[in-house]
Amino acid sequence: MSTNARDAGALAPPLDYLDQRTGLAKVLKEFSRKIFPDHWSFLLGEIALFSFIVLLLTGTFISLFFVPSMDEVTYSGPLATMQGVEMSKAFDSTLHLSFEVTGGLLMRQMHHWAALIFIGAIVVHMFRIFFTGAFRKPREINWIIGFTLLILGLAEGFSGYSLPDDVLSGNGLRITDGVVKSIPIIGSYLSYFIFGGEFPGQHIIPRLFTVHILLVPALILGLIGLHLFLVVLQKHTQFPGAGRTNKNVVGYPIFPVYAAKQAGMFFIIFGVLALMGATMTINPVWNYGPYDPSPISAGAQPDWYMLFLEGALRLTPGFLEVVIGGYTLSLNILIPAVVVPGLLFTSMALYPFIESWASGDKREHHVLDRPRNAPVRTALGYSLLSVFLVLVLAGTNDIIATHFSLSIEAITWTFRVLIFVLPVVTFTVAKRVALGLQRKDREMVLHGHETGKIVRFDTGEYIEVHQPLDEEERWLRVQHEPRRPIPLLPAQNERGVRRPGYRRDAIRSRVSRFFYADRVEPVTPAELAAAQAHGGHDEISASQHDAPELTATREGSSAG
């Protein structure tokens, strides 16, 4: 008997015992046969998941040595530059972990890099879902879950970033205190509640530690579980292609193919993060020192995912602060840090419902859109990216000024103009490009690929030889359904009575026209048949003619 057979026999009794009491065999059998499509972009979610697992592993190690206390101590460790410096126990334990615990600095840096990649993977994953329309029915709930995971990821990153109690993280908390206090009426009370008194107080680090290692991770774990459950419960989306419809999934089963790929993916991500943690220094708090509100210098930026907020604050003019009835209303903080992000994030969360309302489409969708076939959605996504890019660059305006010897005032005013101009330009260009690609697809379906060959007949006629598309290429370009604006019914019925709900329908019609007024209709079967019948001679190769002929590339004929 082989070793594998003996091992299987040894495992049979406990597995049978477990199955008789839980019925897991049937569930595992169905789960192992679940089909998942194969495309590189579907791994973006797995990158986020595996980065979070690395965060849990490294965070557990770090929590064994970190002391979440703001009590003052005098440093007496091996770091010469910090000898005799007064600091909090939180900062002291961070230095102890970095310089005295074996592998401590590696764990800290792996943890930090994993956090950056975790949030980055969520952002890119959500953009993939957005551009391909994977949020449509029945996946609106999963979009909300993903959006909530993004917000929780930002909260988890910020809370962990603030724990070392160094100068950089302390300045971030100082900004947070100012943002909270800018909220009318409740701002001061909310700040006292968060910090346990006047900033910085003695309670913020222990509270952030509880949020960072317990509250937010528990919520993230629960939402990840719910997200994966819905992915398994619903059919996985797939990109359009031959044989792929809303009623099937073309791909591989979870076991053994997909499971093997995911296991390999995890070890690759773990290895890359370990390499980054070992070779790339990040957040060297010993260079900054313990938190002290007096040091102010250029070059202080938060992690990339919070740079948009930093940039928004730097771009807003200070004169927006007003005094009403003896109370200061800091609009220069409230608008960029609370109002604008609130509106943007709310729009992101509600977008699936807005598009569904504008299209009137209530059907289930399991085949993804090509971004070119949803030009307004694609243009909106690129506009949001352009805003984010401008705000990130604005958050580094001092770095740009010092490194390139430019005026910081000129840089700031440039970004103030771009924040309004660039999204409009980006939207217009992206929309026109998407429509142009649709027209190109339509032309290719009707006429085929341009070969660059010119043929002359004995009659003196010149034609360009086109290569017909194969079935899969043609299907990819004609499978999508046309999207048209919702027509607006007359304001009055046939009896001259004003129709109830007309104003709401008028608003819906305007929104629908914004999304779908500019469109390119996909090729119909009748149009394709007519094009093939009319243009058949264009597809004849030169070798089929006995008459004298001239064949040249398009470039060559143009040059002549």
pTM reported for the whole predicted model = 0.88
Tell whether 248 and 153 lie within a shared domain.
yes
Share of the chain above pLDDT 70, in %: 92
The whole-number pLDDT of residue 544 equals: 45
Share of the chain above pLDDT 90, in %: 58
Per-residue pLDDT, averaged over 199-214, amounts to: 92
| Residues 475-490 pLDDT 10s | 888 888 888 898 888 8
Domain termination site, one of 345, 369, 393? 369
The whole-number pLDDT of residue 545 equals: 41
Residue 365 has pLDDT above 60, yes or no: yes
Range with the poorest average pLDDT among 230-234, 294-298, 477-481, 483-487: 294-298
Answer yes or no: is 112 within a domain: yes
Tell whether 481 and 336 lie within a shared domain.
no
Tell whether 365 and 441 lie within a shared domain.
no
Per-residue pLDDT, averaged over 366-376, amounts to: 93
Dihedral sign for Cα 394, 396, 397, 400, please.
negative
Computed over every residue of the chain, the mean pLDDT equals: 87
Domain termination site, one of 349, 369, 389? 369
Cα–Cα distances in Å, from 264 out to 54, 271, 348?
A: 15, 11, 33
| More confident call, 329 vs 55 | 55
Answer yes or no: is 306 within a domain: yes
Residue 467 has pLDDT above 70, yes or no: yes
Tell whether 250 and 115 lie within a shared domain.
yes
Q: pLDDT tier at 5 (50, 70, 90 boundaries)?
A: low
Domain termination site, one of 324, 348, 369? 369
The whole-number pLDDT of residue 455 equals: 86
Tell whether 464 and 334 lie within a shared domain.
no
The whole-number pLDDT of residue 35 equals: 84
Tell whether 345 and 476 lie within a shared domain.
no
The whole-number pLDDT of residue 559 equals: 39
| More confident call, 243 vs 159 | 159
Per-residue pLDDT, averaged over 194-212, amounts to: 91
Tell whether 183 and 48 lie within a shared domain.
yes
Answer yes or no: is 10 within a domain: no
The whole-number pLDDT of residue 6 equals: 56
Per-residue pLDDT, averaged over 225-245, amounts to: 88
The whole-number pLDDT of residue 276 equals: 96
Q: pLDDT tier at 492 (50, 70, 90 boundaries)?
A: confident
Tell whether 333 and 234 lie within a shared domain.
yes
Q: Please name which of 543, 547, 540, 533 lies closest in space to residue 456, comparing C-alpha atoms.
A: 547
Residue 538 has pLDDT above 70, yes or no: no
Tell whether 148 and 258 lie within a shared domain.
yes
Tell whether 278 and 355 lie within a shared domain.
yes
Instruction: List the Cα angle 335/336/339 in 5-degree steps.
Output: 50
Answer yes or no: is 19 within a domain: no
Residue 507 has pLDDT above 70, yes or no: yes
Range among 30-44, 55-69, 441-455, 546-560 rated most confident: 55-69
Number of domains comprising the chain = 2
| More confident call, 472 vs 380 | 380
Answer yes or no: is 391 within a domain: no
The whole-number pLDDT of residue 463 equals: 82
- What are 467's strand-pairing partners? 449
Residue 328 in tokens: 């200061």
Sequence-separated (6 or more) residues with CB below 8 Å from residue 503: none
The whole-number pLDDT of residue 522 equals: 86
The whole-number pLDDT of residue 109 equals: 96
The whole-number pLDDT of residue 4 equals: 54
| Residues 390-439 pLDDT 10s | 999 999 999 999 899 999 999 999 999 999 999 999 999 999 999 999 99
Answer yes or no: is 379 within a domain: no
Is residue 469 a contact partner of residue 445, using CB atoms and an 8 Å limit? Answer: yes
The whole-number pLDDT of residue 541 equals: 43
Q: pLDDT tier at 92 (50, 70, 90 boundaries)?
A: very high
Tell whether 65 and 198 lie within a shared domain.
yes
Half-sphere exposure at residue 28, Cβ-oriented, CA atoms within 13 angstroms: 8
The whole-number pLDDT of residue 225 equals: 94
3-state secondary structure 307-364: HHHHHHHHHCCHHHEEEECCEEEEHHHHHHHHHHHHHHHHHHHHHHHHHHHHHCCCCC
Per-residue pLDDT, averaged over 364-371, amounts to: 92
- Give the span between the Cα atoms of 122 and 361, in whole angstroms: 27
Answer yes or no: is 237 within a domain: yes
| Residues 113-130 pLDDT 10s | 999 999 999 999 999 999
The whole-number pLDDT of residue 1 equals: 47
Is residue 426 a contact partner of residue 383, using CB atoms and an 8 Å limit? Answer: yes
Instruction: Give the domain CATH number at 112.
Output: 1.20.810.10
Answer yes or no: is 103 within a domain: yes
The whole-number pLDDT of residue 553 equals: 37
Domain of residue 275, residue span? 32-285+297-369
- Give the span between the Cα atoms of 323 and 252, in whole angstroms: 64
Tell whether 351 and 237 lie within a shared domain.
yes
